[in-house]
Amino acid sequence: MALARRRGQDGKPFLSADLVAAGDRLQEDFAIAGFGEAELLGWERPEALQPFYAATQSISDRLKRDARTRTLDAVRDLGPGLSEVALRCCCLREGLEATEKSLGWSARSGKVVLRIALHRLNLFYARTRRNEPVLIG
87-131, pLDDT tens digit by residue?
999 999 999 899 999 988 888 888 899 999 999 999 999 998 765
Number of structural domains, the chain? Answer: 1
Residue 122, in any domain of the structure: yes
How many helices (H) and strands (E) the chain has is answered by: 6, 0
pLDDT band at 5 (very low <50, low <70, confident <90, very high): confident
Which residues, including other chains, have CB under 8 Å from residue 52's CB and lie 6 or more apart? 39, 40, 68, 72
Is 93 inside a domain boundary?
A: yes
Residue 76 falls inside a structural domain = yes
User: Would residue 85 count as lying in a domain?
Assistant: yes
- d(CA 33, CA 30) in angstroms, rounded, equals 5
Residue 95: domain span = 16-130
Q: What one-character DSSP code corresponds to residue 107?
A: T
Looking at residue 130, what is its pLDDT?
61
Tell me the pLDDT tens digit for each residue of 22-49: 999 999 999 999 998 889 998 999 999 9
- Answer yes or no: are the C-beta atoms of 45 and 61 closer than 8 Å: no
Is residue 75 assigned to a domain? yes
83: in domain: yes
Q: Is residue 5 part of a domain?
A: no
Q: What is the dihedral of CA 113, 119, 120, 124, to 10 degrees?
A: 150
- 8 within some domain: no
